Amino acid sequence: MPRQAMLGNRVRRLRHRQGLTQVAMASQLGISPSYLNLIEHNQRSLNRPLLLKLSECFDIDLQAFSGNEEARLLADIAELFGDPLFRDIEIEAGELNELVGSAPAACQAFLALYRAYRNAREDLRGLSARLAEDPYLAASSHQLLTLLTSIRSFAEILHDNVDLAARKRQQFVAILVEESEKLTDLVNQLFEFITGEGFQDLRGADSPVDEVTDALHARHNHFPDLEDAADAARREIGLRKAGAFESLSAVLAERHGITVVLGAQDTGAEPEEGLNGERPCFGIPEALPASSATFRVARQIGLSTLGPLFEARLAETQLSTQAARDMYRRALASYFAGALLMPYDEFLEAACTLRHDIELLGRRFGVSFEQVCHRLTTLRRPGAEGVPFHFLRVDIAGNVSKRFSGSGLRIPRYGGTCPRWNVHGAFMRPGRIDRQLARLPDGATYFCIAKTETKSGGGYRAPSSHYSIGVGCEVSFAPQLVYADGMDLGNPEIAVPVGVHCRLCERRDCAQRAYPSFVR
């Protein structure tokens, strides 16, 4: 079924918004009401002349009628039906088309529900992985087993030996009573552990980074009000790429009384209060690249101006610690900075025309490779969505310090990721773009690129930080990426078999396995 054949629902919604009957709309379009009815029910496709007529008569966004969104939704739904959960449900491609065409909102709800289920399942796996490694529980289960073994054997001995000598019987009964008491104590302790602090620790041990990542995921890493605030601020400041740092610094100085001091000591997040009533200073280390310096000033403007907005977004979350709340505020400020320097519409358009060439995008907007990757994950505006990307940043020791699974690829929360992911291998070819077609055990295939970045610590003596930045998308989106050019995307032979994390991976024959699998 062509994409245009799934647009019936859009036509019907447009007609309802216009308050028109089928007869009225059909006459405006110069077609018969019955033909319009067929279009609305996806029985006839919306051909190009008719689409043009539609845009002449009504003020419609042609992009919305491109069928792209429907195609993406269809891909999402089709992926969902690939889950073993639906193993026994036979659904044909045509049925999915119909479903997406006639009930897109229900499909979205279905997807949201499925994602919630996937997250819950992932959390459960993570939790059981941690339980399995908990030393207290390991010791307790051994004790439990010992007590049960002894109780069971004496109970059976007493049962099977009615003619046991009275003294012997008494001895065994005494053991039974004693062991049962110990068992009771142990079980009580275990309950206390599960309901009490021990378990709370285990659950609450989510790092602030994880909590914040989850909160961002819950919003699909897209914040319309921050986009609006960034658009408004950009217009007000008259921000341009050239001289962005200077004009943003001027705004900080004039409107917020904060002096940006280049080459000063790094004050990190917050401007320092000046001594003796001097104006607060915002120190930016000399070694910082220009793009990072600009980004920091932009973020500081967000922190200085958008307090109430940030608090409103914070109120929607359930972040458990002050550290997590502070980090979330900073993440929102960084989001704002990204939106300020890379305006949504302009960036989305550039991403399409430059075919997601990250380096070219960075140059066009005067931002770093990592900032572009980050911004790509935020293009989730309904009706104007970009390619759904995942994004992760690992350090040279393999620790994941940033992750966002926008493409549907699960990035594990606990422990390292699959060693076969090219985000790790990229360290062997520093500074070069590495590309990979990666296939997961469930058959889902992703196109991934990775590149290392070195952040100078400031001069020869200061240690540098090394990261590898990975972004990728589901393989069906790959042709929209310049990096996929010349790659035989349909060829399963060239896809690298990967997993998510060894513990969650069923590939028994993997030579790179680091941990035993929990998957049967």
Q: Which of 95, 156, 278, 485 binds other proteins (CB under 8 A)?
A: 156
Query: Cβ 195 to other proteins, closest distance in Å?
Result: 24
Kindly give the residue spans of alpha helices, DSSP state H, lying in 92-243: 93-102, 104-133, 135-160, 166-195, 197-204, 208-218, 224-237
Q: Give 148 or 428: the residue with its C-beta nearer to other proteins.
A: 148
What's the CA gap between 501 and 512, in Å, rounded? 11
Query: Cβ 172 to other proteins, closest distance in Å?
Result: 8
Q: Give 91 or 131: the residue with its C-beta nearer to other proteins.
A: 131
Q: H/E/C letters for each residue in 405-474?
A: ECCCCCCCCCCCCCCCCHHHHHHHCCCCCEEEEEECCCCCEEEEEEEEEEECCCCCCCCCEEEEEEEEEE
How many residues bind other proteins (CB under 8 A)? The answer is 17
What's the CA gap between 409 and 422, in Å, rounded? 14
C-alpha to C-alpha distances, 178 to 169, 173, 190, nearest whole angstrom: 14, 9, 19
Query: Cβ 156 to other proteins, closest distance in Å?
Result: 4
Q: Give the DSSP H or E segment for 241.
A: none
- 160 is a contact residue toward other proteins (CB under 8 A): yes
What's the CA gap between 419 and 352, in Å, rounded? 31
Query: Cβ 220 to other proteins, closest distance in Å?
Result: 40
Provide the mask over 269-298, with x wherever binding to other proteins is found by CB under 8 A and - wherever it is not. ------------------------------
Query: Cβ 508 to other proteins, closest distance in Å?
Result: 14
Query: Cβ 186 to other proteins, closest distance in Å?
Result: 14
Residue type present at position 364:
R
Strand partners, 496: 438
CB neighbour list of residue 490: distance below 8 Å, 6 or more residues apart: none
Query: Cβ 183 to other proteins, closest distance in Å?
Result: 11
Q: Give 176 or 489: the residue with its C-beta nearer to other proteins.
A: 176
Q: Which of 55, 149, 170, 353 binds other proteins (CB under 8 A)?
A: 149
- 146 is a contact residue toward other proteins (CB under 8 A): yes
Q: Return the residue matching tokens 């900075």.
A: 337
- 157 is a contact residue toward other proteins (CB under 8 A): yes
User: By CB under 8 A, which span of 86-94, 144-152, 304-312, 333-341 interacts with other proteins?
Assistant: 144-152
3-state secondary structure of 363: helix
What's the CA gap between 342 and 344, in Å, rounded? 6
- 32 is a contact residue toward other proteins (CB under 8 A): no
Burial class (CB in 10 A: 0-12, 13-18, 19+), 398: middle
Q: Give 59 or 160: the residue with its C-beta nearer to other proteins.
A: 160
- 190 is a contact residue toward other proteins (CB under 8 A): no
CB 375 within 8 A of CB 342: yes
Q: Give 182 or 219: the residue with its C-beta nearer to other proteins.
A: 182
Residue 36's nearest CA partner among 65, 14, 56, 59 is: 14
Q: Give the DSSP H or E segment for 20.
A: none
Q: Which of 52, 112, 145, 187 binds other proteins (CB under 8 A)?
A: 145
3-state secondary structure of 146: helix
Q: Which of 21, 128, 153, 401 binds other proteins (CB under 8 A)?
A: 153
Q: Which of 43, 55, 128, 161 binds other proteins (CB under 8 A)?
A: 161
Query: Cβ 162 to other proteins, closest distance in Å?
Result: 13
Q: Which of 24, 64, 175, 444 binds other proteins (CB under 8 A)?
A: 175
- 150 is a contact residue toward other proteins (CB under 8 A): yes
User: By CB under 8 A, which span of 77-85, 153-161, 202-210, 263-271 interacts with other proteins?
Assistant: 153-161
Query: Cβ 152 to other proteins, closest distance in Å?
Result: 4
Radius of gyration of the chain, Cα coordinates, nearest whole angstrom: 29
365: how many CB neighbours lie within 10 A of its CB? Answer: 21
- 237 is a contact residue toward other proteins (CB under 8 A): no
Query: Cβ 157 to other proteins, closest distance in Å?
Result: 6
Q: Which of 17, 142, 241, 432 binds other proteins (CB under 8 A)?
A: 142
Q: Give 165 or 315: the residue with its C-beta nearer to other proteins.
A: 165
391: how many CB neighbours lie within 10 A of its CB? Answer: 25
Query: Cβ 175 to other proteins, closest distance in Å?
Result: 5
User: By CB under 8 A, which span of 75-83, 154-162, 194-202, 507-515 interacts with other proteins?
Assistant: 154-162
What's the CA gap between 16 and 168, in Å, rounded? 88
Q: Give 267 or 517: the residue with its C-beta nearer to other proteins.
A: 517
Structure tokens at 329: 């505020």
- 179 is a contact residue toward other proteins (CB under 8 A): yes
Which residues are at the interface with other proteins (CB under 8 A)?
Answer: 142, 145-146, 148-154, 156-157, 160-161, 168, 175, 179
